[in-house]
Each structure stands twice: as C-alpha cells, then as structure tokens.
Structure 1
Amino acid sequence: MATQAVLAGSDDAAHFGSSWLDTLLVKEGAVIVKGISATKSGGLQLAMSNGFCLEVVSDTVPDEEDWRLFELRSDAKHFVIEGGKIDPWSLS
C-alpha cells in the first residue's frame, strides 16, 4: 500500500511507492472511476474499475490542507478539503 509514510519517506521508498502506483494505475491499462463517496471526517473513497479502491484519509488539522481534487491542465477551481471540511473557496 502506498501510504503517506511511504511517499514522504526516503527517496528510495517514495520512488518505489510512486512506481508501484504508476504500474498499477497507468501501465496496466486505463483505470476508470466508477463512483465516489465522502466520509464525515473529510476523507473520500474512489471506486474504480478492476475492483480498485482509492481511500484518502483526512488528518483534520485545522487550517491545513488535507487533499484536493483538480483537473489537469485546466484553470477550473480545485475542490479542497482543509481541516476535515470543504474549503469555502472551492465553492465560490
């Protein structure tokens, strides 16, 4: 599993984790998002093709960004979760 500890760890651990994700989600063929659900604590679960599930867990630290969703190469606003809540800027 590629956790924050793996991706934020040593360069070797982060490279291994990102390579594993690249192989799993890109090189093995397209992975399609089939559904999304949110948790009360500001996390989310993406249900994907091939039975994959991406779970994002929020630290819920006040005034710190937990995660964001955005469209690549787009000027559209990002959907941001900060401190376990939707950042109001995301909805303006």
Structure 2
Amino acid sequence: MDFSIAYKELVKIIGLPLIDTGRVCDLIWFGFGRRIKVKDNRRGSYREVAEYALHVQCPWRLMDISKIIVGSYDKYIPNSKIEYSDEFDWDIEGANLCDEILKKLFELHPSKLVVKSVKLDQFGELEISFSDNYVLDIMPDTSTDDEVWRIFQNGVEKKHLVATGIRISLE
C-alpha cells in the first residue's frame, strides 16, 4: 500500500481526544473524538461510541517519558485488589491490571489526552503521541496475514485501514 494513503487515514485522529478504551477478550479498542450515536444492527437500538475507533489485537503499550504505564500483557495480571490464584479469570471486566490502570488514567486526565502525531512503519508498527508526553505503541508480532489492528470512523460506511503481519490496506 502507498503509505500516503495510510497516513491520510491516520492523520484524521490528530487533534482528537482519547475518550475511552474497552476490551472484548484479547481485543482492546481506543476511542477518539466526540461521542456519537450509532445504530446497533443486531439489536436495532442506538448506542454511544467514539467517532473513531482503533481495534488492536497485538502487543501494545502506553508510556510516558519515564516508564511504561500499561501494556497488553497487563490483562493477564490481577488488579491490585485481587490476589493471584489459579482461578484468576483475566477476561472479567475490571479484574485485571490493564483494566484498572486504564480506568485510573481517565480519572487522572479528565480533560482527555489529545493526539499530537502519528507514525507508521512498513511493518505496521503504529505510534500515537498524545498531550502530556504519553505515547501509544502498537507492535505487530506475526508473520501471517492475520489482522493485528484496524482504525475506522464509526457510523460511516467507509473502508477501514487494516494492518496484518504482512500488509496494510483499506478494506
């Protein structure tokens, strides 16, 4: 893919705030922009979502200038209120360290982190820089055509920018 096409899609989030994150199993999403209402095709009802969504299914980390704040592996670690045991279920919302840290991050930054820049390399590694010196790194880790991340505008019938282990394309 021509990188100028990929950048044309990615720069749309520059200047937008990170307004939420969420998780379904090992897929985490980051929501940017304003909240909009979209129709849920399965239920027929409306729900509020971020204007832009970044879905990630590969290693990622959120850092500031001195440390890693939270990373994808943290979902396998119990939150600070739970002692580890063989029965620990990381997939229960709020039970893991990742969910706990991301919740605290939004409490610490009620004015939201604003996207300042984006970088993309030929391997699909994506770096999103925010206000307050935060950086989100997304690091594909497969040599296959499996999807590792995608970014798209909610509520609009447009192609998504999709990265796999071997390509970046509009789908």
Aligned position for 1:49: 131
- % identical aligned pairs: 25
Unaligned runs of 5+ in 2: 1-68, 77-89
Distance 1:34 1:43 in 2: 17
Contact 1:44 1:57 in 2 (8 A): yes
Task: Give the counterpart of 1:60 among 142, 160, 164.
Answer: 142
- Please give the TM-score of this superposition, normalised by the length of structure 1: 0.74
Secondary structure of 1:46's aligned partner: strand
Partner amino acid for 1:46? I
Aligned pairs, how many? Answer: 85
Distance 1:36 1:86 in 2: 15
Structure that is richer in strand per residue: 2
Q: CA RMSD in A?
A: 2.0
Rate the CA distance shift 1:59–1:21 in 2: closer, same or farther, 3 A: same
Unaligned runs of 5+ in 1: none
Structure that is richer in helix per residue: 1
Q: Give, in angstroms, the shift of residue 39 of structure 1.
A: 2.2
- Please give the TM-score of this superposition, normalised by the length of structure 2: 0.43
